């Protein structure tokens, strides 16, 4: 992979007037994505899963067979020809709930991930680019946030703030940025020392313009990979917050479906159909994000030590690490 990357990196070295700007970088990244999908079936499967759920969520109001706010059958009716996935504790059609519920979960996932990428990207770029005491300060803050158990902090803040959709998004986003900040910082530190950046600086290009024109296009693919992985984590957290009664009380989401099943003792009725579909949808979206994000990350940076998900084993070892990059 890295062999095929290097010519591209040479090609991006800008003429003094900087013509191959963001547009060229965008085209190059699009080409990379197509190659990636062709080379790694896992990435294609992941993208397919995500696309499927996005499309279903968009058209959910039109394909949902019943309304999600009125009873359309008896309480806890088993799956039948009329209600494919049965009904819940209020006699509401579970299939419709699951279809519509995907919207909130995906919106929260995407929005919270955007917040996390924004904050993490900013921290990472500023710390990595400027170095010195700015770097030390920002990374210290990141370290503290990294140690704290996310969900507990989310629960407390969400409880104090009151349940609503925007609060859930902000709470998740503002606590999910730490690994992104670290990964981006490491990448920016290496970009900063590349020849074309040094040349740009020599001819008097300002910091802001170097960041926008030269650093961001190089970091962008990494940010996208991280965004995809963050979506999965955000959906996980959203499901948990909803389950603990801290989500939007009037909304329908996969987490709230599970919360209802637990609160209204679906288990005593043996109503497995209220639980199984929502959980499988969550798992499918998360597997999708995982496959796509992991493939992107592997392709972009095969030697990456710090990462989201299962491979975060190196995430917390910044002060101990073996490599120089880890400090």
Partner 1 sequence: MIRGDYILKRATFAIVTIFVVITLNFFMFRVLPGTAVTNLAKVPNASIQLKRVLRREFGLSLPAWRQYLDYLIQLFHGNLGISFANQLPVASNLKSALLNTLPVVTIATILSLILGIATGVLSAWRRGSKLDQLSTNAAVVIYSLPTQWIALILLIALSSYLPTAGTQNPFQIGPVSFWAHLGDQLTHMILPVITLVLTLYGGNTLIVRSALLETLGEDYMLTARAKGIGKSRMMRSHALRNALLPITTLVALSLGTIVAGAILMEVVFSWPGIGEALYQAVQQRDYPMMQGGFLLITISVVLCNLIADLLYFKLDPRIQG
- Name the 3-class secondary structure at 93: strand
Q: Are 289 and 298 a contacting pair, CB within 8 Å?
A: no
186 contacts: CB under 8 Å, gap ≥ 6: 128, 306, 325
Residue from 39, 80, 250, 313 in contact with partner 1 (CB under 8 A): 313
CB of 27 to partner 1, least distance (A): 32
Binding mask 290-309 for partner 1 (x = CB under 8 A): xx-----------------x
Asked if 316 interacts with partner 1 (CB under 8 A), we say yes
- Name the 3-class secondary structure at 144: helix
Using the minimum distance from each CB to partner 1, give the nearer residue, 160 or 203. Answer: 160
Select the span of 32-40, 64-72, 150-158, 183-191 touching partner 1 (CB under 8 A). Answer: 150-158
CB of 144 to partner 1, least distance (A): 5
In degrees rounded to 5, what are phi and psi of residue 223? -65, -40
Using the minimum distance from each CB to partner 1, give the nearer residue, 54 or 155. Answer: 155
What distance in Å separates the CA atoms of residue 123 and residue 316, rounded to the nearest whole number? 17
Residue from 23, 134, 156, 212 in contact with partner 1 (CB under 8 A): 156
Q: Are 176 and 150 a contacting pair, CB within 8 Å?
A: yes
What distance in Å separates the CA atoms of residue 165 and residue 327, rounded to the nearest whole number? 38
CB of 260 to partner 1, least distance (A): 11
Using the minimum distance from each CB to partner 1, give the nearer residue, 216 or 284. Answer: 284
| Interacting positions 243-282 with partner 1 (CB under 8 A) | 243-246, 258, 261-262, 266-268, 270-272, 275-276, 278-279, 282
Select the span of 53-61, 188-196, 219-227, 319-327 touching partner 1 (CB under 8 A). Answer: 319-327
**What does 23-88 look like in DSSP terms, one character per residue?**
HHHHHHHHHHHHHHHHH-HHHHHHHHHHHHHHHHHHHHHHH-SS-SSS--S-TTPPP-SSSTT-B-
Structure tokens at 85: 């996935």
Residue with tokens 């693919």: 221
Using the minimum distance from each CB to partner 1, give the nearer residue, 22 or 245. Answer: 245
Binding site for partner 1 (CB under 8 A): 143-144, 147-153, 155-157, 159-161, 232, 236, 239-240, 243-246, 258, 261-262, 266-268, 270-272, 275-276, 278-279, 282-284, 286-287, 290-291, 309-317, 319-320, 322
């Amino acid at each position: 992979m890295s062999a095929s990357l290097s010519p591209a990196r040479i090609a991006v070295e800008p003429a003094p007037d900087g013509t191959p700007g963001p547009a060229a970088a965008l085209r190059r990244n699009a080409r990379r994505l197509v190659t990636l999908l062709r080379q790694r079936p896992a990435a294609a499967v992941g993208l397919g899963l995500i696309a499927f759920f996005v499309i279903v969520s968009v058209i959910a109001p039109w394909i949902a067979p019943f309304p999600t706010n009125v009873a359309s059958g008896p309480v806890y009716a088993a799956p039948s020809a009329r209600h494919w996935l049965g009904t819940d504790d209020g006699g509401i059609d579970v299939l419709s709930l699951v279809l519509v519920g995907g919207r909130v979960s995906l919106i929260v996932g995407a929005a919270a991930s955007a917040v996390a990428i924004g904050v993490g990207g900013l921290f990472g770029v500023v710390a990595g680019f400027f170095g010195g005491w700015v770097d030390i300060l920002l990374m210290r803050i990141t370290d503290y946030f990294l140690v704290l158990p996310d969900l507990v902090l989310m629960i407390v803040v969400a409880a104090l703030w009151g349940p609503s959709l925007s609060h859930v998004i902000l709470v998740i986003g503002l606590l999910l940025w730490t690994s992104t900040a670290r990964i981006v910082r490491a990448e920016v530190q290496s970009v900063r020392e590349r020849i074309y950046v040094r040349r740009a600086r020599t001819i008097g290009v300002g910091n802001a313009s170097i960041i926008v024109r030269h650093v961001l296009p190089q970091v962008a693919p990494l940010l996208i990979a991280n965004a995809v992985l963050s979506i999965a984590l955000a959906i996980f957290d959203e499901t948990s917050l909803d389950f603990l009664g801290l989500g939007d009380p009037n909304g329908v989401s996969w987490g709230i479906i599970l919360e209802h099943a637990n609160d209204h003792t679906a288990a005593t009725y043996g109503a497995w159909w209220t639980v199984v579909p929502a959980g499988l949808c969550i798992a499918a979206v998360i597997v999708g994000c995982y496959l796509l994000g992991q493939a992107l990350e592997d392709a972009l940076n095969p030697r990456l030590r710090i990462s989201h998900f299962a491979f975060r084993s190196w995430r917390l070892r910044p002060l101990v690490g073996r490599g120089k990059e880890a400090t």
